[in-house]
Amino acid sequence: MKRHTGKQRCFTIIFLVWGMMLLPGVSCLQAGELEKINFMLMWLPQPQFAGFYMAREKGIYEKYGLDVTIQDRGYNEDVLTDLVQGKSDLGIMNLLTALEKKAFGEDIVNVGQVFQRSAIEFVARKTSGINTPRDFNGRKIAVWRTVLRAQTLGFIKTRNISAEIYSVDEGISFFLKKAVDIISVMHYNEYNTLINHGIDSDELTLFRLKDFDMDFPEDGIYCLARTYQADPALVRRFVKASMEGWEYAVAHPDEAIGLISRILLKKNLICNPVHLQWMMDAMPEMIRPKDPDTPGGHLARSDFDKAVDFLLKTQKIPRKVSYDAFYVNR
The predicted-structure confidence for 267-276, as pLDDT tens digits, reads as follows 998 889 999 9
- My answer on whether 66 and 206 are in the same domain is no
Please give the pLDDT value at position 32. Answer: 61
In a domain, 7, yes or no: no
Please give the pLDDT value at position 77. Answer: 63
Cα–Cα distance for residue pair 206/212, rounded to 1 Å: 12
- Domain with 87 in it: what CATH number? 3.40.190.10
Mean pLDDT of the chain: 89
| Threshold 0.85, pTM exceeds | yes
Three-state secondary-structure class, residue 207: strand
Please give the pLDDT value at position 96. Answer: 96
Please give the pLDDT value at position 145. Answer: 84
Q: What are the CA-CA distances from residue 128 to residues 167, 182, 294, 296 (Å)?
A: 21, 9, 42, 41
- My answer on whether 258 and 187 are in the same domain is no
In a domain, 19, yes or no: no
- My answer on whether 316 and 292 are in the same domain is yes
Please give the pLDDT value at position 76. Answer: 55
Range of the domain at 176: 120-212
Residue 214 has pLDDT above 90, yes or no: yes
User: Which of 212, 240, 273 is at the close of a domain?
Assistant: 212
Q: What is the DSSP-derived secondary structure letter of residue 279? A: H
Please give the pLDDT value at position 171. Answer: 80
In a domain, 60, yes or no: yes
In a domain, 5, yes or no: no
Cα–Cα distance for residue pair 262/271, rounded to 1 Å: 9
- The mean per-residue pLDDT over the stretch 70-89 comes to 86
> Could you tell me the pLDDT band of residue 7, with boundaries at 50, 70 and 90?
very low
- My answer on whether 146 and 284 are in the same domain is no
DSSP string, 100-155: HHHHTT--EEEEEE---S--EEEEEEGGGT--SGGGGTT-EEEEESSSSHHHHHHH
Domains held by the chain: number: 2
Lowest-pLDDT range of 86-100, 113-127, 164-178: 164-178
CA–chain centroid gap for 98, Å, is 12
- My answer on whether 94 and 240 are in the same domain is yes
Looking at 159-252, list the stretches that DSSP marks H as alpha helix, in order from N- to C-terminal side. Answer: 173-176, 190-196, 225-230, 232-251
- My answer on whether 285 and 145 are in the same domain is no
In a domain, 24, yes or no: no
Please give the pLDDT value at position 146. Answer: 77
CA–chain centroid gap for 6, Å, is 54
User: Residue 140 carries which side chain, given as an amino acid letter?
Assistant: K
- The mean per-residue pLDDT over the stretch 309-324 comes to 96
Cα–Cα distance for residue pair 253/6, rounded to 1 Å: 49
